[in-house]
Amino acid sequence: MFQSLVILLIFLTVMMVVSVIIASKRVVKNRKSVVHLIWMAVFTTVCYTVFILIPPRNPGLASFAAGVYFLSTDWLVVYLMLFAADYTEVKPLSRVPRFIVGLLAGVDSISFVVNTFTHHMFTVEVASADKLGIEYWDVQLKSPHIVHRVFVYAIVLYSLVILLYKLIKVPAIYKNKYSSILCQTLSVVGLNVLCSAVDAKFDYSVILYASLAISICYLALYASPKKLLERINSTIVEDSVIGLFAYDNSGRCVGANQAVRELFAGEGDIYEIAEKYRARWEEEFKDNSSNLVGDERTIVVNGEKQYIYVSYQRFLDKKGRNLGCCFQIENRTVVVKKFKEEQFRATHDMLTGLLNRNTFEEEVRRILSEAKEPYYMICSNIQDFKLVNELFGSKVGDKLLIAQAKMISRSASDHSVSARIYADKFSTLLPKRCFVETDFIENMKQIIDMGLTGSFKLHFYIGVYDIVDVNEPVWTMYDKAIMAIDSIRGNYEQSISYYKEELLQHIMEEKEVLNEFDQAIEEKQFHMFLQPQIANNGNVVGAEALVRWIHPQKGMVSPGIFIPTLEKAGLIHKLDLYMWESAAKKLEEWKKEGKEKYSLSVNISTKDFVYIDVCDAFRTLAQKYDFDVKNLKLEITESALAENVRELMTALDGLHELGYDIEIDDFGSGYSSLGMLKDINADILKIDMIFLRETKNVQRSTTILKNIISMSKELGMPVITEGVETKEQVDFLMDVGCDMFQGFYFAKPMSLENFEQAYG
C-alpha cells in the first residue's frame, strides 16, 4: 500500500514534469499561469513524497519536510487562484488584496518553517499501522494550524466561485472546460477534508493534485470543444460566398448552402436543382482522375446568363471507397461582366458602340488575311461637323454621329467590320457584294431628313477604296478612302466618290502648293497679269487682274491649279489681299502718271468673306493708296451669291458705301440667278461665254443671252461678256447691246509690262 502510493506519486510527478516541459513550448494563451501551477503541483507532490519517505529515526527532518509540504500547499492554492483568474478572465484581485494574499501565504510559510523548532502548528510522530506492518509519520495538528486551513480553503473557495461564475456565463459548448476543472478541484478539496476528518495515515488528496494539474494542462492548453469546431465549420460553409452542393455516396443531395440558394433563387426546389446539375456536371468531370477538378461554366438562371467556376470534389475513405462528393460553385458573374465591360470599353467607341480605331485595325487585318472575296474600305464624313456642334449643340451632334454609325454599319455582314475612327470619321470594311451605292445614299437621305432646322445644309460624304492589295497597311487603305472624300469636299452635288490613282497625284500636288505657298508670297512669286476689257466702241477701258504663279522651277502655273487648293485650305484671302493691294498700288501709280483712263477688276473669292472682313480690307486700301475707288471693280462670283445671300448683301452694301462698283462674275454659268438680281445691289453684270459654248441648243442659249442683256439694260446695269473668242461672237454681242468685252479674241491675260507697253 505504502509502496504503491510512493510509486504512484513518483509516476504522477514524472507525468507532470513531462507535461509542463511540453506545455512550456506551446505558444498559447494562459500558458504562463498553467506552467506556474503545474510546477507548484510538482513541488508540492515532491515535498509530500519526500516527507512520507523520511525514515522514522529522523523526526526533526520529518517535521521540517512536513512544514515545507504545508507551506507548498499555501502556494499551490495561490497559484490555483491565479490560474483560475487568468483562465476565466475574471480579474478578481487588485494589487492590494493580491499583496495581502501573498503576505498571508508568506507568513504562513515562515510559520511552517519555524514550526520545525517551535512545534506550534503541528508535531510529527512515528506511528505504526499494525495490520499493515508499516510505520508512518503521524501529523498531530495544533490549534494555530486552523489559520492555515482557513487561509487555504478561503483561497480555494474563491477560485471555485470564479470558476462557477464563468461556468454560468459561458455558452454551452464551453461549459465542459470549466465544469471539469471545477469538479476536479472540488474533489481534491473533498478528499483533503475527508482525509483529515478520518485522520487518515496519508493525505490522498495529493494524488488528485497531480491529476488535476495534468488535466488543467490539457484542458487549458490543448482541448478545444468539438462542437465548436463543428459549429465553426458549418457556419463557414453556410456563410461562404462559394456555393456548395453536397451529395452522399448514392448521389443524393444532402446539403446546399446559402450561396447556392441565392444563386438559384426563384428557380424552384434547390434539391431538384442540385440533382439536375449533378447529372450534368458529374459526367463532364468523371474522366478526370484527380479528386478535385474545376472549370469555367455559364448557366442560365432566371433567364440571365451567369458565369460560374465549378469545382468537383470526391470524398473517399482510406480504402478508396466513395463517401460522397460536392460541387463548389463560385459565382463570377459580376467580375466577368465587369471584365467584359472593360474589354468593351477598351475596344469600342462608347458613344456609337462601334469598334474603336485600334481594334478596327486588328479586325481589318484579321478579316483580310482570311479574305476569299474582294473588299471595299469605305469612309464617311459629315461636311462641317464642327459647325453642327456649334450651331445645334453637342447633343444633336451626338445624335447625328449615332445615326451615321448606324448608316455605315447597316450593310454589315459576318465578314465586315465598322468603326468610329475619329470625331465624325467612320469607316467600314465591307465585301464588295454587300455594297449597294443607292442604299447608302438612301440611308444618308434618311438622316438628312431627320432634320436640322435653319439654313444649315447637312451633307455627307462617302469615300470608297477598292482594295487591290490586302497586305497594304490598313491606314493607307483608310487614307485612300478619305482622299476620295477630299476630292469632292465642298461639292454639294456629290456624295460618293471612289478612289482613283490620279487622286493621289492630285493630292500630292495640293500638298506641294500648300507647302510652298507662304514662301511664294514672301518671295513675290505671284504676279498680277492683266486681260484687257474693251468697250463696244473699240476702246480699252480697263483690265481684269488675274494671278499667275511664276514658280522658280515649274515656270508659270495657272490659277486653276492652286486657287481651289488655297480655297479649300482657307488660305485664298492671303493671296487676294496681295492681289487687291497690287491693283490699288498700280491705280495710284497710273493716277500719279496722269493715266487714269483704265479701271482694274479684281476677284473676290467666296471664302474671303469667311476668313476676313472684306469691307475693312478695301476701306484700308482706299485710305492707304491714292486712287479713284470707281476704278477698282470688285468681281464676285454668282455662286457665292447663291450660298449665303444675307451676309453677302450686308458686305456688298458696305463696299458700295465705300464707293466701289460690284461686278457679278460668271453670270449664267451656274445657278438660276435671274431672281437674285432684284435683291442684289450689283453694278455690272459679267456674263460667262462658257454657257454659250457648252450647249447643244445654240438657238435657245442666244435667246437667253439676248434677254439677260436686255433685262440688265432695264435694270440700268452695264454688261460685260467674257471668254469672247471669235469675231462672230463679238458681232452677235454688239447686236444684242453688250457694252464691253473680254476674251482671247482681243487679248490674252498679259504681264503688267506687256499691258503698259501695248496700251500705255
Binding stretches for ligand C2E (CB under 6 A): 531, 546-547, 558-560, 563, 572, 576, 579, 603, 605, 635, 665-666, 722-725, 742-744, 749
- Which position has the grid cell 503688267? 752
What is the edge-to-edge ordering of all strands in the sheet holding 322-331? 253-256, 243-248, 322-331, 304-316, 292-301
476 touches, from ligand C2E, Ca ion, none (C-beta below 5 to 8 Å by class): none
Burial class of 240 by CB neighbour count within 10 A (0 to 12, 13 to 18, 19+): middle
Instruction: Give yes or no for a contact between 432 and 466, defined as CB atoms under 8 angstroms apart.
Output: yes
Quote the least distance from Cβ 546 to Ca ion, whole Å: 7
Q: What, of Ca ion, ligand C2E, none, does residue 563 touch, CB below 5 to 8 Å by kind?
A: ligand C2E
Nearest-angstrom CA–CA distance, 52 and 72: 15
- Going by C-beta distance under 8 Å and a sequence separation of 6 or more, which residues neighbour residue 342? none
Nearer to ligand C2E, 49 or 603 (CB): 603
Alpha-carbon distances, residue 751 vs 526, 547, 603, 659 (angstroms): 11, 10, 17, 28
As measured in angstroms, the least distance from the Cβ of 577 to ligand C2E is: 10
User: Please, what is the minimum distance in Å from the beta carbon of residue 724 to ligand C2E?
Assistant: 6
Residue holding cell 462658257? 690
Min separation Cβ 613 and ligand C2E, Å: 16
- Provide, rounded to whole angstroms, the least separation between the CB of residue 605 and ligand C2E: 4
**Smallest distance, Å, CB 666 to Ca ion?**
4
Q: Give the shortest CB-548-to-ligand C2E separation in angstroms.
A: 8
User: Which residue's CB is nearer to Ca ion, number 377 or number 634?
Assistant: 634
| Residue 579 binds: one of ligand C2E, Ca ion, none (C-beta under 5 to 8 A by kind) | ligand C2E
Q: Which is nearer to Ca ion, 329 or 685 (CB)?
A: 685
Q: How far apart are CA 267 and CA 264, in angstroms?
A: 5
CB 239, CB 258: distance < 8 Å = yes
77 versus 600: smaller Cβ distance to Ca ion: 600
Q: At what angle do helices 205-221 and 59-88 cross, to 10 degrees?
A: 30
In the bound complex, what is the minimum distance in angstroms from residue 507's beta carbon to ligand C2E?
20
Q: Which does 101 bind (CB under 5 to 8 A by kind): Ca ion, ligand C2E, none?
A: none
- Which single residue is written with the C-alpha cell 470543444? 225
- Residue 685 near residue 718 (C-beta atoms within 8 A): yes
CB nearer to ligand C2E: pick between 201 and 633? 633
Contact 685, 716 (CB under 8 A): no
Name the binder of 572 from Ca ion, ligand C2E, none, CB < 5-8 A by kind. ligand C2E
Question: Of Ca ion, ligand C2E, none, which one does residue 74 interact with (CB within 5 to 8 Å by kind)?
Answer: none
C-beta closer to ligand C2E: residue 92 or 559: 559
Q: Which residue's C-beta sits nearest to Ca ion?
A: 635
Give min distance, CB of 604 to ligand C2E, in A. 6
Among Ca ion, ligand C2E, none, what does residue 744 contact (CB within 5–8 Å per kind)?
Answer: ligand C2E
Which three cell numbers mark 655? 463696299
Complete DSSP assignment for 545-593: EEEEEEETTTEEE-HHHHHHHHHHTT-HHHHHHHHHHHHHHHHHHHHHT
Least gap, CB of 691 to Ca ion (angstroms): 11
CA distance 64 to 42: 18
CB closer to ligand C2E, 349 vs 516: 516
The C-alpha atoms of residue 698 and residue 704 are separated, in whole angstroms, by 10
Q: Which does 255 bind (CB under 5 to 8 A by kind): ligand C2E, Ca ion, none?
A: none
Select 661 or 722, whichever has its Cβ closest to ligand C2E.
Answer: 722
Count CA atoms closer than 13 A to 648's CA, side-chain side. 23
Residue 497 near which of ligand C2E, Ca ion, none (CB within 5-8 Å, type-dependent): none
Half-sphere exposure in the Cβ direction for 422 (13 Å, CA) = 5
Strand-pair category, 540-551 with 526-535: antiparallel
Question: Within 10 A of 155 (CB to CB), how many other CB atoms are there?
Answer: 22
| Shortest Cβ 604–Ca ion spacing (Å) | 9
Q: Which spans of this chain sit near Ca ion (rule: CB under 5 A)?
A: 603, 635, 665-666
DSSP characters for 381-397?
Answer: EETTHHHHHHHH-HHHH
- Tally of CB atoms within 10 A around 229: 11
DSSP state of 303: T
Inter-axis angle of helices 59-88 and 145-169, nearest 10:
20
Residue 121's binding partner out of ligand C2E, Ca ion, none, with CB under 5 to 8 Å set by partner kind: none
Closest CA relative to residue 66, chosen from 145, 10, 143? 145
| Nearest distance in Å: CB 726, ligand C2E | 9
Q: Of the two residues 93 and 561, which places its CB atom closer to ligand C2E in the complex?
A: 561
Q: Which is nearer to ligand C2E, 486 or 666 (CB)?
A: 666
For ligand C2E, give the closer residue by CB, 484 or 575.
Answer: 575
Shortest distance (Å) from residue 547 CB to ligand C2E:
4
Q: Choose among ligand C2E, Ca ion, none what residue 68 binds, the Cβ cut-off being 5 to 8 Å by kind.
A: none
Q: Which residues does 448 contact at the CB level (< 8 Å), separation at least 6? A: 458, 459, 460
Query: With respect to ligand C2E, which residue has the nearer C-beta, 371 or 752?
Result: 752
Question: Smaller CB distance to ligand C2E: residue 429 or 572?
Answer: 572
Select from Ca ion, ligand C2E, none the partner in contact with residue 37, using the beta carbon and a kind-dependent cut-off of 5 to 8 Å.
Answer: none
